[in-house]
Amino acid sequence: MPKAAIAESPVIQPLSLLKRVQEMLGVHALRSDQDLVRLVEDRLATGALAGLRRSGLTDDEIYSLIVPRRTLTHRRARREALSRDESDRAVRLARIAALAEHVFGDSGRAWHWLRAAKRQFKDRSPLQLTATEAGARLVEELLYRIDEGMAA
């Protein structure tokens, strides 16, 4: 690909995505992916899930993709933070949702796309695939291709 064509390709601004992830999770000062790593390592407060809920994730999706209902109830009662794995899943979902909002231009369209089954995912929804890091990478790749006009 010629350098001129590469320069004209749409580029997603990572800071705007990090700002949206920050809003979704109700955290402060995300300036780089290293800050996302720190968030996971330090473990998110259970309150971060309320931000994901306000952004469009349903309770059932939170229970199936991030933390089971009973475990969440237990953590809240003991005022415990999410585990590292749960924090990682929450950050992963926020990152994918922020990217989808950017690609589709609004939250409603993004969540509709994330919940709709896709042939290329063997009739599973992108949201279902985000249950694993490998699946989330496939979803992220498809979103970048859509943003660049290479897939629909």
Block means of pLDDT (10 residues each) for the chain, length 152 residues? 42 75 92 93 96 96 97 97 97 96 95 96 97 96 92 60
**Backbone phi, psi, residue 131, to 5°:** -65, -25
Measured between alpha carbons, how far is 32 from 39 in angstroms, rounded to an integer?
Answer: 11
Structure confidence at residue 149 (pLDDT): 87
**Angle formed by the axes of helices 133-147 and 84-104, to 10°?**
10
Structure confidence at residue 107 (pLDDT): 94
Indicate the burial class of 71 (C-beta count within 10 angstroms; 0-12, 13-18, 19 or more).
middle
The structure's pTM equals 0.87
